[in-house]
Amino acid sequence: MEHNFEIIVQKYGGSSVAQPQKITEVAGFIKNKLKNNQRICVVVSAMGDTTNELLGLAKQVNPLPPKRELDMLLSCGERSSMALLAMALCHQGVKALSLTGSQSGIITDECHSGAELLAIRPYRVLEAFKSYEVVIIAGFQGVSRAHEITTLRRGGSDTTAVAMAAALKARICEIYSDVPGFMSIDPRIKAHAELISELDYDQACSFSLYGAKILAHDAARLAQNLGVELLLAQSTKSDTGTRIGEIPMKNPKNQLVRCITHLRGVIRLELLQHDLENLGDGFFLCGSWKNNNLIGYASNDIAQELPPLLNAQVRAGLALITIHVAHQQAILIVIKKLIDICKKNNFEMLDLITGSSQIFVIMSDEILNHAMSIVHDGLIKDR
């Protein structure tokens, strides 16, 4: 379908639309961003903790709710956000229309509570742009070929936004949250974290995989595969943030480390080689061989979904700190600095593993926040 206007896709996370006042602020931000001969497709998450609250309600009436009915319930969260935002925009004089995932042409497979996107057919969105300046879409959901409502994996609203941006041939996909972009460390751990202004796709995928929660890993990988340029920014604040795309790697002079990320709830598994047949690709976050055994580290959430591994030795209560180095030549230098920092501050590293552009450090979850802050200052702030 031909059109003579520019399209931008924006996504707002649950914290950005958590209360009616915030929805009103987002509406004003969208209004101010809207330019002549331009249309904005907005993807929204559920308000605040709505998804968890709905899950809690489901468990109260059925400890093991049918996944089909769970999808019907959870999809209501995003529908509430989209309708309220459309109302707020209309009140501010902006022509806006809300559409569910199915109405927007988001086609998935038949897997409930974790569906995969198969196709985006945005015919109704493009048709709506003839009469409306803004079209708001419910994220995290779609419709199967059997005409059933489905929900995507956690972070599915990010994936929805990226896929819709590709389908609409949007100029850019802007993802707004409560932080300014990718930071040198989680700002909840270190208030004075540094903003990273540019990343290439590989770096963004790595940061997301190993704990930077500002962008879902599935969405980062999809953006890379589809060539969708991203801007990660703070909701209603400004256009500054982290730009992600086919950006030549540029590292400031003498920079050794770009970012430090973390994951809690990590477990250590020691497995015999033949036990690996029971595990899918991507199960381990990192690992190394010891004699004929694999010492691997995985998210406990993922491990709980697998059948028991009879011969596995398991240790829980761990955290993974990932140091994303600026270039491979920096790995040995950073390891030396890291060892010195840990000795000086009496931090016990339970394991240290190197990747292609990462250094993985296993520590007790109890000391994670303090250790992260000290390591950040020693490797990034004092560089």
Instruction: Please indicate, yes or no, if residue 236 is contained in any of the structural domains.
Output: yes
Residue 251's pLDDT is: 59
Contact 57, 73 (CB under 8 A): yes
Residue 247's pLDDT is: 76
Instruction: Please indicate, yes or no, if residue 250 is contained in any of the structural domains.
Output: no
Side-by-side strand order, sheet with 293-299? 286-290, 293-299, 257-272, 313-325, 358-364, 351-354
Domain that holds residue 368: 257-381
Instruction: Please indicate, yes or no, if residue 50 is contained in any of the structural domains.
Output: yes
Residue 110's pLDDT is: 95
Asked which of 202, 222, 245 is the last residue of a domain, the reply is 245
Instruction: Please indicate, yes or no, if residue 1 is contained in any of the structural domains.
Output: no
Q: Is 164 exposed, middle or buried (0-12, 13-18, 19+ CB in 10 A)?
A: buried
Q: How far apart are CA 47 and CA 137, in angstroms?
A: 14
Annotate 274-302 with DSSP letters as a single string.
GGGGGS-TT--SEEEEETTEEEEEEEHHH
Q: Position 113: which residue type?
A: S
Number of structural domains the chain divides into: 2
Residues 233 and 269 in one domain: no
Instruction: Please indicate, yes or no, if residue 49 is contained in any of the structural domains.
Output: yes
Residue 307's pLDDT is: 56
Residues 270 and 239 in one domain: no
Which residue numbers in the chain have pLDDT < 50? none
Residues 235 and 261 in one domain: no
Asked which of 183, 214, 245 is the last residue of a domain, the reply is 245
Residues 333 and 237 in one domain: no
pTM for the model stands at: 0.91
Rounded to a whole number of angstroms, the CA Rg of the chain reads 22
Residue 304's pLDDT is: 62
Asked which of 245, 266, 298 is the last residue of a domain, the reply is 245
Residues 213 and 270 in one domain: no
Q: Which residue has the tokens 């460390």?
A: 185
Residues 236 and 339 in one domain: no
Residues 208 and 347 in one domain: no
Q: Taking the CA atoms of 11, 12, 14 and 18 in sequence, report the sign of the dihedral they define.
A: negative
Instruction: Please indicate, yes or no, if residue 14 is contained in any of the structural domains.
Output: yes
Q: What is the CATH number of the domain that holds 153?
A: 3.40.1160.10
Residue 289's pLDDT is: 82
Residues 219 and 291 in one domain: no
Contact 319, 210 (CB under 8 A): no
Shortest CA distance to 324 belongs to which of 225, 217, 196, 224? 196
Residues 227 and 139 in one domain: yes
Cβ atoms < 10 Å from Cβ of 279? 18
Residues 174 and 74 in one domain: yes
Residues 167 and 263 in one domain: no
Instruction: Please indicate, yes or no, if residue 251 is contained in any of the structural domains.
Output: no
Dump pLDDT digits (tens) for 289-337.
887 788 889 887 766 655 565 556 788 899 999 999 988 888 999 999 9
Q: What is the CATH number of the domain that holds 308?
A: 3.30.2130.10
Instruction: Please indicate, yes or no, if residue 372 is contained in any of the structural domains.
Output: yes
Residues 12 and 158 in one domain: yes
| DSSP-based three-state secondary structure for 321 | strand
Crossing angle, helix 201-209 and helix 217-226, to 10 degrees? Answer: 160
